[in-house]
């Protein structure tokens, strides 16, 4: 079953209402910020339009022949248009080909659905070619134009479309969904803030940050053995933003405490267990709790006016200067 993201129910209900009240235009412009699932909304709505027996809320049943074809990616009445090559442009030939196909009647006697994503990728010639179809659409055809940048479409195109503006989801809803998608749910708030409140963009960011987190842990480890300069590292760590590195630091220290307490089942940095175990063995539990307090203070101050570089230097110096039990390192 093709499910909506939890923040999309009211947008879908809006579309469904337009449909049941006979107000659905033959061309819809679905716009809104990047990373909130507009394309997915268009996709779910397309299935709903193709389905032989939609559910009470309008969602596709997932069982009928049309839904099966849709799920397999070969429903003959669904047309997807995106840039085909590295030019990142939707070209006139693609539009001409599309127009030819939608001029034929539908294979299953229901809608023909077109998803153009991103619609702003059409070049001028392609957009002009599409205009005729928007003015005199073939019967039972619904065009879904998806874009982050509606202003990049000509005013003429926009004026021929009914619009659906999908806004940013409520922070609480976005965060609770994102927490279920991340390995470390504690990063959800920070990632969401960095992604400007867009949950799918935050998820992409999380994937991009995996390598960086590994690099920083390596630096954190070198600081403990006096092999790195805290001031120099601080300068690197605050770029472009110090919130994520500090939240990682919090996760490392919390895990070090868990490892010392033997509560491994609650570890969040599963990939770094051996490293954190070794670092934890060098410190007394009281020092670890003191360190956790310092990290928490830093997190609080990071939202104030205090200079990021100074904050980062402070916590890295504190960490590198902690009195360590070096014996544990030699035993190994």
Residues 14-53 that bind Zn ion (CB under 5 A): 51
Interatomic CA distance for residues 176 and 199, integer angstroms: 10
C-beta of 57 vs 293, nearer to Zn ion: 57
C-beta of 65 vs 165, nearer to Zn ion: 65
Find the part of the chain contacting Zn ion (CB under 5 A) among 60-68, 255-263, 293-301, 324-332: 60-68
Interatomic CA distance for residues 158 and 154, integer angstroms: 6
Residues 65-124 that bind Zn ion (CB under 5 A): 67
Residues 168-197 that bind Zn ion (CB under 5 A): none
What element of type H or E holds 38?
helix 38-50
C-beta of 47 vs 247, nearer to Zn ion: 47
C-beta of 44 vs 67, nearer to Zn ion: 67
Q: How far is the CB of 65 from Zn ion (least distance, A)?
A: 8
Residue 61 contacts Zn ion per CB under 5 A: yes
Positive or negative CA dihedral for 15, 16, 19, 21?
negative
Find the part of the chain contacting Zn ion (CB under 5 A) among 62-70, 164-172, 263-271, 301-309: 62-70
Interatomic CA distance for residues 239 and 88, integer angstroms: 30
Interatomic CA distance for residues 166 and 150, integer angstroms: 12
Q: Please select the residue that binds Zn ion; options are 25, 34, 64, 148, rule is CB under 5 A.
A: 64
Q: How far is the CB of 69 from Zn ion (least distance, A)?
A: 10
The phi, psi pair for 30, rounded to 5°, reads -100, 110
C-beta of 52 vs 228, nearer to Zn ion: 52
22 CA to centre of own chain: 33
Interatomic CA distance for residues 178 and 169, integer angstroms: 12
Residue 142 contacts Zn ion per CB under 5 A: no
Residue 58 contacts Zn ion per CB under 5 A: no
Tell me which residues touch Zn ion (CB under 5 A): 51, 60-61, 64, 67
């Amino acid at each position: 079953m093709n499910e909506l993201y939890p923040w999309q129910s009211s947008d879908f209900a809006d579309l469904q209402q337009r449909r049941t009240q006979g107000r659905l235009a033959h061309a819809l412009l679905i716009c809104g910020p990047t990373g909130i699932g507009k394309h997915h909304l268009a996709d779910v709505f397309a299935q709903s339009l193709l389905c032989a027996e939609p559910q009470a809320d309008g969602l596709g049943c997932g069982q009928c022949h049309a839904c099966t074809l849709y799920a397999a990616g070969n429903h003959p009445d669904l047309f997807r248009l995106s840039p085909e090559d590295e030019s990142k442009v939707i070209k006139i030939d693609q539009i001409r080909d599309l127009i030819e196909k939608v001029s034929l009647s539908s294979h299953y006697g229901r809608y023909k659905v077109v998803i153009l994503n991103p619609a702003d990728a059409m070049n001028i010639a392609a957009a002009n070619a599409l205009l005729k179809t928007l003015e005199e659409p073939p019967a039972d055809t619904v065009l879904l134009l998806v874009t982050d940048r509606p202003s990049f479409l000509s005013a003429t195109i926009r004026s021929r479309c009914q619009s659906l503006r999908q806004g940013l989801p409520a922070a609480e809803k976005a965060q609770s969904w994102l927490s279920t998608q991340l390995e470390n749910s504690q990063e959800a708030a920070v990632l969401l803030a960095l992604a400007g409140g867009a949950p799918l963009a935050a998820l992409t960011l999380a994937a991009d940050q995996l390598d960086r987190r590994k690099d920083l842990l390596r630096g954190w480890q070198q600081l403990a053995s006096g092999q790195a300069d805290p001031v120099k590292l601080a300068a690197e760590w605050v770029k472009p933003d110090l919130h994520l590195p500090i939240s990682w630091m919090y996760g490392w220290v919390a895990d070090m405490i868990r490892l010392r307490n033997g509560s491994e089942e609650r570890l969040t940095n599963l990939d770094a267990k051996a490293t954190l175990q070794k670092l934890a063995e060098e410190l007394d539990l009281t020092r670890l709790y003191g360190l956790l307090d310092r990290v928490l203070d830093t997190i609080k101050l990071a939202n104030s006016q205090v200079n990021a570089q100074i904050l980062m230097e402070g916590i890295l110096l504190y960490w590198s200067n902690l009195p360590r039990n070096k014996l544990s390192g030699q035993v190994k």
